[in-house]
Each structure stands twice: as C-alpha cells, then as structure tokens.
Amino acid sequence: MKISLSDIGKRYNRDWIFRRLTYTFASGVSYAVTGPNGSGKSTLLQILAGVLVPSEGVIAWAAPSAPSAPVAPEASVASFAPVAPDRVYESAALSAPYLEVIEEMTLTEFLDFHAVFKPFRPGLTTASIISLLGLDSAAHKQIVNFSSGMKQRVKLAQAICSDTPLLLLDEPCTNFDAAGFELYRSLIATHGLGRTIIVSSNDPAEYDFCDHVLSISDFKLPASRS
C-alpha cells in the first residue's frame, strides 16, 4: 500500500503535535517512526490507519490493484487504486498497547471473531496461529486470565496475520521477554514480505529490519512558526 502525506499536521486545542509533514510511504517497504515519548508517533500511526483525521494537509492512500487480464511477469507493472479514507480500515492492520482485545472471549473465539472481519493470510488458521504463538494450552481460556505478555502476543498476531497490504505496529514488543522478541521477529520475517510496514518505536530492536527511519521530531515547529 502506498501512502502520500502532503503538509499534514495534527493539533489538540491550540497545541500542534506536529506540522508540515510531507512524506511518501512506498508499497512493500518498511519504515520506523521514532521520537520521544509524547512526540506524536502514535498519533501519526492512527492518522495513517485512517482512525484520526489530520488538522491540516492532505493524505492519500492507494492499494495495489489486480490486473484485468493476465500478463507476462516481465511485462507486469504495479498499479494502484485510490482508497477512500472511510475504507482504509479494510487494507490496514494495527497493533498497539492502547488497543484492547475482547477479554470475555477465549483465545479461539477471539481469533475466529477477528477473522470474520479481517481474513487471515493464506495458509493461516486460528489453530495454526495459536500454535505459532506457543499458546496451545491457552486456546480455550478466557483472555482476561492471560498475562500482559500473552495479551501482547494476541494483539500482534491479529495484526501481523491479517491479510492486509498495510501493517502498522505501535511499540510492538511492549511487555515482551526475550522469547516474545524472537516471536515478533519470526512473525515479521514470515508474514511481512511484500507489505508496507510502519513501526512506531524508540527501541532499535523493534525496527532494525526497517528500510527507512522517520523522526517525528523533525516536524516539531517552534511557536513562532505556528
């Protein structure tokens, strides 16, 4: 998925979080968004996901479109179709610490429910995802009884394993131990290929696979320019 930002900015009341951000996220490329806590990284990710609307500027999304007729591989050229802001959710998957899972459900019920709205990537099933997470023994337990690390595994899985061209990860390894980090890297290596991945983090271990790094601090303007 391709995302083009032109002079976008976001403010709450009279305070600008960031301004004059012009950038293009290319399809199939991975990016990291860095910056101090409270600098607007999560806000930017929610704008990219279509959850928040920028206070100024223009944002455009375009998803890869299937060719109308078969063509030879050497003659194929990637084409994109515009995506309306209110339809971005269909092409995006977001994992973030502030997003909750349905704790009254069991793990199996939650993943089955999620798949109704956002199908899993080819070859993946609820059972295979649970095995990937190492949570077979908890498959039929209510999520409310999970540890914080187990819940984070579930949040990651519902995003990374969804069949979407855009993957947005906000502090993806929150509450993870070494095994959790390893699981994260394995999921990205296996299911991240060909997708636009944008990671919001200050921990290089979470984004060192990314092709480009965007510092949100570069778009913090002094009051005199507001």
45 neighbors 198 (Cβ within 8 angstroms): yes
Distance CA(3)–CA(196), nearest Å, equals 9
Asked whether residue 72 is domain-assigned, the answer is no
What was the pLDDT predicted at 80? 87
The pTM score is 0.90
Asked whether residue 123 is domain-assigned, the answer is yes
Asked whether residue 43 is domain-assigned, the answer is yes
Dihedral (CA of 49, 84, 193, 212) sign = negative
User: Any idea what the CATH number is for the domain that residue 56 is in?
Assistant: 3.40.50.300
Distance CA(21)–CA(8), nearest Å, equals 5
Edge-to-edge strands of the sheet including 56-64? 15-25, 2-12, 56-64, 80-83
Strand pairing class (56-64; 2-12):
antiparallel
Asked whether residue 97 is domain-assigned, the answer is yes
Asked whether residue 73 is domain-assigned, the answer is no
Which ranges of the chain have pLDDT less than 50?
68-76, 223-226
What was the pLDDT predicted at 178? 94
49 neighbors 94 (Cβ within 8 angstroms): yes
Asked whether residue 85 is domain-assigned, the answer is yes
Asked whether residue 162 is domain-assigned, the answer is yes
Strand partners, 149: none
How many structural domains does the chain have? 1
What was the pLDDT predicted at 79? 86
Tell me: the pLDDT tens digits for 82-120?
Answer: 999 999 999 999 999 999 999 999 999 999 999 999 999
What was the pLDDT predicted at 222? 60
Residue-number span of the structural domain to which 109 is assigned: 2-67+78-225
Asked whether residue 186 is domain-assigned, the answer is yes
Terminus-to-terminus CA distance in the chain, angstroms?
A: 32
Indicate the helix (H) or strand (E) that contains 150: helix 148-160
